[in-house]
Structure 1
């Protein structure tokens, strides 16, 4: 495993973090989930990412259970606040009340006394930023959270939050945004703003929900047991980003021979491309099987040739989303490829 500082902070994170957004308490059974967490630990992963919104809190509970008995100082536990699916007028906000209540609940579910990295899960336009940042400052100064980050915020929002954090004597250290060969919107404005503020990128979906592994092929049905084939939440997530669009699948399929030429799997190629960006401190990836995780981690050993990178980016030039205005947003929905539509209609 390789490790890097998160932004300009002193916090060291594993270059690959284990995330459980769609797996724990949802896609896979608890035994498989435990095996994946133990495989991550055995591979040297120290950084684990979850959120109070994942599986309505069960993802946090399971992660806390699976990590019980590990030396706490060896772990970097990351969770989020602000997208709670629970009913209530104060739920799903970044108000002082919700941040305090959610932090206490996350601590109980994770079975720990402190959260290493507590992240604002999307922007809350209904709460003054000063209130949100000061509530985070209280958590840091009380020792219940050590570092603060944000997720899917725009460049102006990050600059404003980082300035307020400095005034309140704590650093904003991370931005967790989607980033992959297919979704590059943070390159234009968000990454430069973060670099200026000393904020590191902790990116999610580096394999575009598994699409960049090459397992979804144009004109063919969905692979049995895949995320899009019926696991709750998986197909919805892939369609949200248009990753099952026929043009996308066709372009991604063109990466298979390029990866083979370099002696790589498409998954290793895609993750290595993300990690070569100096603004990226770590990439968050999940797994439904231990062998899947071990195979993906081989990307850490890959040093991509500039010529190969140019060819890969050119192959996806027509489908990769690069518009900086899309930061923190989802694209307009399109129809998945015909084979996928037919399969769903007959299911």
Structure 2
């Protein structure tokens, strides 16, 4: 397992991050604990959860599993979504953040959180209120670093500028959907992250399961995440002809080198410029083992570029216009 520095910080995280969204729901506590221990034993040190995963149960399981190894772990969680029926039990207000961090600390059985992330933008709360509150929490020692998730490029830049101007702590990372079948970050957000040295922690790195290779053109699955008609990993979004062309190339590369499509898709992402640590999730120990097979080797340049070419976004305006007039020094 290799390590990368997380954004503009001094902490190093493993090249894969273990996501815990299924823990306490699709994955029972015993299997979840085994996954965490196997991950740490294999050299991984980066765990991601959220206060809303399995109604808080994910945090409880993760916290219990790492109690004896807390200092070895970079522990990340999130705040923003509704944790109760009260109107103030959601958002990024000072009240909800302060209530949320205390509740997460209790569930995680720890006195500090390494990376505290806002789960998405809040159009109601002024960004100054959110960032000032997070800065206070860093000063208090309850959180060490802050990150964001599911932001537009202007929202990230606005936040960074606001932090710099007011001398607040700034976001060191962003957690965003990114994979071979979801490369919207490429147009603006990923170049911004590279420019501002913001670590990128992709979620859904295998396209919500689409890149496993178990789906067939024109045959909507009857079960699982892709069987639904709404959401980021719906069949309507994933089961397109473009995505199947990408999947065909992933399968071809996988067959050439004796790896699974999942391992190939993850390996491509690990070595994409600007990417720090993809978050992989697993409902079963078998899925965990397959995901972990993505490290310890590397696609050839030719294989990597084959995948990059078939999945690249259309080279559209204003990028092609800007590039045409780049200064050459």
> Is TM > 0.5 for Structure 1 vs Structure 2?
yes
- 1:69 equivalent to 2:57? Answer no
- In structure 1, the residue matched to 2:8 is 8
- In structure 2, the residue matched to 1:81 is 79
Q: Deviations over 1:20-67 (max 9, x none)?
A: 12x112212222222222221222111100001111211111111222
- In structure 1, the residue matched to 2:272 is 277
Deviation at 1:164, TM superposition (A): 2.4
Contact 1:187 1:322 in 2 (8 A): no
Which structure is higher in RCO with an 8 Å CA cutoff and minimum separation 6?
1
- In structure 2, the residue matched to 1:341 is none
Contact 2:246 2:307 in 1 (8 A): no
Deviation at 1:240, TM superposition (A): 7.4
Contact 1:18 1:285 in 2 (8 A): yes
From the superposition, tell whether residues 145 and 240 of structure 1 become closer, same or farther in structure 2 (CA, over 3 Å).
Answer: farther
SS at match of 1:280: coil
From the superposition, tell whether residues 26 and 7 of structure 1 become closer, same or farther in structure 2 (CA, over 3 Å).
Answer: same
2:130 to 129, 132, 154: 132
- 1:303 equivalent to 2:303? Answer no
Query: Structure 2: which 5+ runs fail to align?
Result: 319-329
What pairs up with 1:124-273 in 2 under 5 angstroms?
124-166=122-164, 167-220=166-219, 222=221, 228=226, 238-239=233-234, 242-245=237-240, 248-249=243-244, 251-273=246-268
From the superposition, tell whether residues 2 and 242 of structure 1 become closer, same or farther in structure 2 (CA, over 3 Å).
Answer: same
Query: Structure 1: which 5+ runs fail to align?
Result: 326-347
From the superposition, tell whether residues 240 and 68 of structure 1 become closer, same or farther in structure 2 (CA, over 3 Å).
Answer: farther
Instruction: Give TM-score, length-normalised by structure 1.
Output: 0.83
Following the alignment from structure 1 to structure 2, what is the Cα–Cα distance between the partners of residues 84 and 323? Answer: 37
Aligned-residue RMSD, C-alpha:
2.6
SS at match of 2:77: strand
Deviation at 1:160, TM superposition (A): 1.7
